[in-house]
Amino acid sequence: MRSVRPYLTGAIALAVAAVVFVMPFVFVALQAVKSKSEASRLDFELPEHWLFWDNLVAVFKARDYQLVLAYFNSTLITVVSVAILILLSAMVGYVMQRRKTAWNRVAFAALFMGLMMPPAVVPTIGLLQDIGLFKTMTGMILIQVAYNLSFSVLLYRSFISTIPRDLDEAALIDGAKPRQIFFRVVLPLLKPVTVTNIVVQSIAIFNDFTNPLYYLPGKENVTVQLTLYNFQSMYSSQYNLLFMNILLVTIPPLIVFIFFNRQIVAGMTSGGVKG
Amino acid sequence: MTETRPHPRKSPYPLWFFIPAAIIYGVLFLFPTISSLWYSLTRWDLSTAQFIGLENFQQFFSEPFLVKGLVNTLIYAVTTSGLKTVCGLLLAVLLTSNIFARGFLRTLVFFPVLVSTIGIGITFTVMMHPTKGIINVTLETLGMPGPGWLTNPALALFSVALVDVWKGVGLATLIFIAGLAAISPDYYEAARIDGATRLQQFFRITLPLVRPATVIVVTLSLIGGLRSFDLIWAMTRGGPGFSSDVIASVIYKQYQAGFYGLSTAGNVILFALIAVIILPFTLWFNRREVEE
């Protein structure tokens, strides 16, 4: 029996969602293509002239092409820290799941603390200064690795429990060294959770604002989120450029989302609920 | 699941796999966290630390605006966590029911989770402008003059909390959808045969059986709420006055002002707050889990 009810509820839900979840993004896109005076009215009128390209160029040119530098810095931090994060957390998750030793309890307690506790910022700044990594890309990358490790390891650990040990043993009998078992046999099988990890962590690190604010001050170190924060005061009279900047910052996660939507959802739920 | 078997003399699972991660994590996260307990007891300029006992904490608790930050942190965490849990569950029930455009709706609700918090903060700050913002302009057209969302000290914290819920509810919904999917349809079948209403089914079947997901959502959103900084900083900088300051923004302000010891004491207070709230909750849940 077919009924109209699913369509009716669906239509109402769509209408509400359009207002609540779509409208803010339409608002951003609309302001981003307006002229300065039109954007200052902050309304939903369509622009008289579509200034997409002009505003785009203006935002990129601002402050000596600061946004270009910011994209470079943000991309570098994201790519390198995610790469390190993936390798190290897969290794830890693998041994934690497979080998039950006293170290597991220690590692688990430490990682659990990392999930819950906020980092102690000023002592970390002091430490980074002492070892010469404050205000450096290397320091920022290592910080991102340290802060996001817990989540990655726990995701890997729960996924590795679904891979049969028989595979490891078969490889062992075939004469593989422990290192080879991991890199040749196990790591390739972790691909689904690796993709999830890459997507989730790169979005988190790309969008991170607080840590660069603390650990990476300085004009030459600017990241994409920090440009937004800096432009907020600078462009308080030029909303068109401010919103063009927001639009540009929203595009990378949007692209990632379009390609990996399914994977994010599957990964988050399997890692989250089954523990 | 995993039976413990005697290890061969040389395990195929080398413990050195822990070492690189342990060094980075130990040096950059664990060590500063533990040393913060010491630095919070000092007057500190990043090079010399002079022990002053509990003076930083005394100062923290005797300054009304710092205590306000503590109270605001609790209000913010409870408000956002409560709303995310309730709205997330209701949305999840709606988005697992048989409705039109279900997949698209799920996508829509989840998308803000992935977008820059600062970008969202700025966007909503503009939309919440007391006279020009589209929220109040719309309300006025409907004959209801809107409040100063971010300019009214009594309201600012809650306005930011609402935006936080808007941004984060998609994650809660996602976790609840996974939780709901794990409930066997047989229960509902049986309930329908016994003549249970939809409401009865929700309270007697859905709610108890979705509890593992509820615990995850509440824990995650409480931790997130207690640590929250970037959205508040982007939208109000803790203002007007100190009306929307939370511990995390106090930590940043004291750091900027050069009060490193006091800033670190703020951090220790935040640790304590999270431990006091989250640990009993986790323990309580685990015990109930075992009993059942």
Identify the helix (H) or strand (E) that includes residue A252.
helix A239-273
Interface residue B265 vs chain A (CB under 8 A): no
Same domain as A141, residue A98: yes
Same domain as A49, residue A95: no
Write down the CATH superfamily of domain B51-288.
MetI-like (1.10.3720.10)
Nearest to A136 by CA among A202, A77, A84, A86: A77
Same domain as A139, residue A233: yes
B5-9, B141-145, B232-236: the lowest-pLDDT one: B5-9
pLDDT band for B6, please (50, 70, 90 cuts).
low
| pLDDT over threshold 80, residue A232 | no
| pLDDT over threshold 80, residue B286 | no
Q: What is the mean pLDDT of residues B60-72?
A: 92
Interface residue A70 vs chain B (CB under 8 A): no
Domain final position from A26, A44, A59: A59
Domain final position from A33, A59, A85: A59
Q: Under an 8 A CB cutoff, do B271 and A118 touch?
A: yes
Q: Under an 8 A CB cutoff, do B118 and A209 touch?
A: yes
| pLDDT over threshold 70, residue A4 | yes
Nearest to A273 by CA among B212, B283, B282: B212
Q: How far is B118 from chain A (nearest CA, A)?
A: 7
pLDDT of residue A272: 46
Phi, psi of B44 (to 5 degrees): -140, 130
Name the more confident of B290 and A24. Answer: A24
Q: Tell me what percent of the residues of chain B surpass a pLDDT of 70.
A: 95
CA B204 to chain centre: 28
Nearest CA in chain A to B256: A214
pLDDT of residue A158: 87
Return d(Cα A25, Cα A31) in angstroms, integer: 10
pLDDT of residue A88: 96
Q: Kindly write down the DSSP assignment for every residue of B96-117, as one continuous string.
A: HSS-TTHHHHHHHHHHHHHS-H
Q: Under an 8 A CB cutoff, do A28 and B123 touch?
A: yes
| pLDDT over threshold 80, residue A236 | no
Coil, strand, or helix at residue B44?
Answer: strand
Number of domains in chain A: 2
* Average pLDDT over chain A, rounded to an integer: 88
Burial class (CB in 10 A: 0-12, 13-18, 19+), A88: buried
| pLDDT over threshold 80, residue A5 | no
Interface residue A236 vs chain B (CB under 8 A): no
Same domain as A224, residue A95: yes
Return d(Cα A140, Cα A80) in angstroms, integer: 10
The two tokens of residue A45 are 């009128």
Which residues have CB under 8 Å from B184's CB, separation 6+?
none
- Distance from first CA to last CA of chain A, Å, rounded? 39
Return d(Cα A236, Cα A234) in angstroms, integer: 6
| pLDDT over threshold 60, residue A273 | no
pLDDT by residue (tens digit) across B73-92? Answer: 999 999 999 999 999 999 99
pLDDT of residue B4: 54
| pLDDT over threshold 60, residue A228 | yes
pLDDT band for A267, please (50, 70, 90 cuts).
low
Same domain as A193, residue A93: yes
pLDDT band for B164, please (50, 70, 90 cuts).
very high
B31-40, B104-113, B266-275: the lowest-pLDDT one: B104-113
User: Residues 34-53, chain A: which have Cβ within 8 Å of B?
Assistant: 41-44
Contacts of A256 in chain B (CB under 8 A): 114
Return d(Cα B256, Cα A213) in angstroms, integer: 11
Q: How many CB atoms lie within 10 A of CB B68?
A: 18
Identify the helix (H) or strand (E) that includes residue B167.
helix B156-181
- Output the CA torsion A226→A229→A233→A236 (10° steps): 120
Name the more confident of B243 and B283. Answer: B243
pLDDT of residue A64: 83
pLDDT band for B290, please (50, 70, 90 cuts).
low
| pLDDT over threshold 80, residue B171 | yes
In this complex, which of A103, A123, A261 lies closest to B39 when CB atoms are compared?
Answer: A123
Residue B108 bridge partners (DSSP): none
Interface residue A203 vs chain B (CB under 8 A): yes
pLDDT of residue B1: 47
| pLDDT over threshold 90, residue B50 | no
| pLDDT over threshold 80, residue B62 | yes
pLDDT of residue B88: 96
In this complex, which of B46, B104, B123 lies closest to A246 when CB atoms are compared?
Answer: B123
Interface residue B209 vs chain A (CB under 8 A): no
State the CATH number of the domain containing residue A242: 1.10.3720.10
Contacts of B24 in chain A (CB under 8 A): 88, 142, 145-146, 149
Same domain as A251, residue A140: yes
| pLDDT over threshold 60, residue B152 | yes
A57-61, A144-148, B261-265, B267-271: the lowest-pLDDT one: A57-61
pLDDT of residue B49: 83
Q: How far is B64 from chain A (nearest CA, A)?
A: 23
Coil, strand, or helix at residue B186?
Answer: helix
pLDDT by residue (tens digit) across B228-243? Answer: 999 999 999 988 989 9
pLDDT of residue B100: 83
Phi, psi of B133 (to 5 degrees): -60, 145
Identify the helix (H) or strand (E) that includes residue A5.
helix A5-17
Nearest to B110 by CA among A13, A254, A210, A26: A254
Same domain as A82, residue A55: no
pLDDT of residue A270: 58
pLDDT by residue (tens digit) across A179-208? Answer: 899 999 999 999 988 988 998 899 999 999
Residue B42 bridge partners (DSSP): B51
pLDDT of residue B167: 96
Q: What is the mean pLDDT of residues B132-136?
A: 88
Coil, strand, or helix at residue B42?
Answer: strand
| pLDDT over threshold 60, residue A1 | no
Domain final position from A35, A59, A83: A59
Q: Kindly write down the DSSP assignment for every residue of B143-162, as one continuous string.
A: T-PPP-TTTSTTTHHHHHHH
Taking the domains of chain B in order of start, what are their residue ranges? 51-288
Same domain as A202, residue A138: yes
Same domain as A205, residue A190: yes
Q: What is the mean pLDDT of residues A245-272?
A: 76
Q: Under an 8 A CB cutoff, do A114 and B270 touch?
A: no
pLDDT by residue (tens digit) across A54-65? Answer: 888 888 888 888
Q: Which domain holds residue A21?
A: 3-59
pLDDT of residue B165: 97
ipTM higher than the 0.95 cut: no
Return d(Cα A145, Cα A139) in angstroms, integer: 10
Contacts of A98 in chain B (CB under 8 A): 13
The two tokens of residue B184 are 């066997």
Same domain as A152, residue A125: yes
pLDDT band for A268, please (50, 70, 90 cuts).
low
pLDDT of residue B132: 85
- Distance from first CA to last CA of chain B, Å, rounded? 19
In this complex, which of B122, B233, B268 lies closest to A242 when CB atoms are compared?
Answer: B122
| pLDDT over threshold 70, residue B9 | no
Given a contact cutoff of 8 angstroms between Cβ atoms, the answer to whether A141 and A81 are in contact is yes
In this complex, which of A123, A147, A225 lies closest to B36 when CB atoms are compared?
Answer: A123
pLDDT of residue A92: 94
Q: What is the largest distance, in Å, between two alpha-carbon atoms of chain B? A: 79
- Give the amino acid at B148: G
Sign of CA dihedral B215, B217, B222, B223: positive
pLDDT of residue A269: 61
